[in-house]
Amino acid sequence: MPVSLFDVQCGFGGATPGCRDMLSADELVAEMARLDIARALVRIAPSVLESDGIGANARLYDDCTRFPERLLPCPIVIPNGGRDVLPEDEQLDEHIRRGARAVVLRPKTDYWSLAPWASGALLTALAERHLPTLCMMDEMSLDDVAAVAERHATLPLIITGVDYRQQRTLLPLLETFPNTYLSTGFNYCVHQGIEQCVAVVGAQRLLFGTGYPSSDWLMPAITYLMYADISTEDKQRIGMGNLERLLAEVQR
């Protein structure tokens, strides 16, 4: 039985210090076709040099509109504490209007705090809309994710970039907060990791991700899932079904 794939941890168009080339949306789509990845939730990535979140979103939408069947935009959202971006509700409504069904937080890169008095309005607005929210481990810690998950129980938090050494903290986090989800993409590659997560919290809490192009991890992510010692039905849930369900639950 085929396993369709919807990549939750993917991107294009970002520069890396010291690297001359950037992966274009066209190149990403070509690689997805070669490896039979049906769709991807995409950001501008790598994002280490992407200091203009608003500009990055504009580029993201431009490219995603060229591949509407393949690429689903996952824009950056920023709290309006400095009165320099759109107010939170307007910001989210605008992203949903442009086709986004998930967003990403970058508190470190965009210089804001996860404390309720600084970003509570943004997180509350996200939770009201049930907008799946990417929490990248180079921007937030697992402790940060837990704090947000506890305060906003209706907000689906997708943890990406988990290190293979973090299982001792990751697993109890997933157990404690049912609104947290794990991307199986880079850098989550621990031996028997998918199997243990499925056994403890269930396959419905895992989402197929790659981490491409921050690491050359498209096919490794595929084989990590496809050779996992879990049922085909669970692979299908992780491969695509779970993310589709979360996206369908967004309140527009």
Contacting positions for another protein (CB under 8 A): 2-3, 19, 21, 23, 34-36, 164-168, 186-187, 189-193, 195-196, 213, 215-229, 235
d(C-alpha 233, C-alpha 227), whole Å: 13
Report the residue number, 111 or 227, with the smaller CB distance to another protein: 227
Q: How far is the CB of 24 from another protein (least distance, A)?
A: 12
Report the residue number, 84 or 229, with the smaller CB distance to another protein: 229
Q: How far is CA 102 from CA 41, 72, 198, 199, 226, in A?
A: 8, 9, 23, 27, 25
Q: How far is the CB of 212 from another protein (least distance, A)?
A: 8
CB within 8 A of 239, min separation 6: which ones? 3, 4, 5, 6, 208, 225
Greatest alpha-carbon span in the chain: 51
d(C-alpha 54, C-alpha 60), whole Å: 10
d(C-alpha 72, C-alpha 6), whole Å: 10
Q: How far is the CB of 143 from another protein (least distance, A)?
A: 17
Q: How far is the CB of 226 from another protein (least distance, A)?
A: 3
Report the residue number, 35 or 86, with the smaller CB distance to another protein: 35
Q: Is 106 helix (H, G, I), strand (E, B) or coil?
A: coil
d(C-alpha 180, C-alpha 153), whole Å: 9
Q: How far is the CB of 27 from another protein (least distance, A)?
A: 10
Report the residue number, 36 or 143, with the smaller CB distance to another protein: 36
- Decide: 79 and 112 in contact? Cβ < 8 Å: yes
Q: Which two tokens stand for residue 52?
A: 């203009």
d(C-alpha 161, C-alpha 158), whole Å: 10
Q: How far is the CB of 13 from another protein (least distance, A)?
A: 13
Report the residue number, 99 or 202, with the smaller CB distance to another protein: 202
Q: How far is the CB of 4 from another protein (least distance, A)?
A: 11
Q: Which two tokens stand for residue 239?
A: 């491969």
Report the residue number, 45 or 149, with the smaller CB distance to another protein: 45
Report the residue number, 124 or 215, with the smaller CB distance to another protein: 215
